[in-house]
Chain A
């Protein structure tokens, strides 16, 4: 099973999954978030078409309280 860095932490994921699949496993469907893969933003309309593979660095961010 491939290992990704998700938000700075190593995480095993099932093989052959896309950003969209991963979002479902993280319970983020329908929420507001943004994804960066290896330093590049993955727009919402590309989530289903973007495959994840070993060593990818993924950032998943949301809006939180702040000034």
Chain B
């Protein structure tokens, strides 16, 4: 039997194909060397960054994140972390577009509350509309509410990214049922963003049928970030393959032996 033909399985976002379904953040690392080493181990091609005021009077030789992660090698995805209304989020991403020479792929996140960092969905919808009208390709952090996710898709967002659990909590996927409803209805890629704690969480997200996973803290705050990045790469790949393979049906009350029942010696 000849080996089955290998069809490349890629993540398609806004018309561009990515071999990796793992997207990673660049925050909370010890230094840029560790950031880069972890990102290389993760295999991620899309990396998120935040936009912040430059430290005026800083050392002229102070290293810059984008020197470690050149936009020629990675798809830099600027975020709106820390924005609590649509106006600030849109303003931030317009600055990001200028900073990145006109690149328009962005991550929109409008937060509602400092304690939970839960998305502010009314403001997220307002910002998404304005950004899409201005030509941005918007990947959007959102609640795991199928109705809101659909509304964002209808506005023209290129990917919806519901939270698995609170940002930075590492609590894993708290509501797989809602994610399944979102996945069932969505026509754009669905990525789990926020809440992943360890490799099995990422695998579960992919087994559910998510198109990708975005994480930061799970890698950056592992005891060994580079090793965890490698684990996440494998988990996302394994989860994706398991989803494509199609899992066996669950049999809740009936065991089924794996060995033959014929030919036993007694």
Closest to B107 in A: A67
**Shortest distance from the beta carbon of B232 to any chain A beta carbon, whole Å:** 14
Given contacts A64-B49, A65-B50, A67-B25, contact A41 B98 (CB under 8 A): yes
State whether B79 touches A34 (Cβ < 8 A). Answer: no
Q: Write out the residue numbers on chain B whose beta carbons fall within 8 Å of the beta carbon of A8.
A: 53
Q: Across the interface, do B56 and A60 meet the contact criterion of CB distance under 8 Å? A: yes
The reply on A36 being an interface residue by CB < 8 A is yes
Chain A 2-56 interface residues, beta-carbon cutoff 8 Å to B:
6-9, 11, 26-28, 31-36, 41, 43-44
Task: Tell me, yes or no, whether B60 is within 8 Å of chain A by CB.
Answer: yes
* A7→B66 contact, CB < 8 A: no
Set of chain A residues within 8 Å of B50, measured between Cβ atoms: 63-67
The answer to whether B56 touches A61, judged by C-beta atoms less than 8 angstroms apart, is no
The reply on B254 being an interface residue by CB < 8 A is no
The CA-CA distance from A59 to B58 in the complex, in Å, is: 15
Decide: B56 and A7 in contact? CB cutoff 8 A. yes
Q: How far, in Å, is B130 (CB) from chain A's closest CB?
A: 15
- Contact-residue bracket for chain A: 20 to 34
Interface size on B, residues (CB 8 A): 39
**Given A34-B95, A44-B98: A66 in contact with B27 (beta carbons within 8 A):** yes
**Which residues from B are CB-within-8-Å of A66?**
25-27, 48-50, 79, 81, 216
Contact of A67 among B91, B95, B216 (CB under 8 A): B216
Neighbouring A residues of B60 by C-beta, 8 Å? 27
Q: Give bound CA distance, A43 to B28, whole Å.
A: 30
Q: Are the CB atoms of B99 and A65 closer together than 8 Å?
A: no
B258 interfacial by beta-carbon distance below 8 Å: no
Q: What are 30 A-B residue pairs whose CB atoms fall within 8 Å in the complex?
A: A6-B56, A7-B53, A7-B54, A9-B56, A26-B54, A27-B58, A27-B59, A27-B60, A32-B64, A33-B99, A34-B95, A34-B96, A59-B95, A60-B56, A62-B51, A62-B66, A63-B51, A63-B65, A63-B66, A63-B76, A63-B96, A64-B50, A65-B29, A65-B50, A66-B27, A66-B49, A66-B81, A67-B27, A67-B216, A67-B217
A-B residue pairs, 10 tightest by C-beta: A66-B50, A67-B25, A67-B216, A27-B60, A34-B99, A34-B98, A63-B49, A65-B26, A7-B53, A65-B27
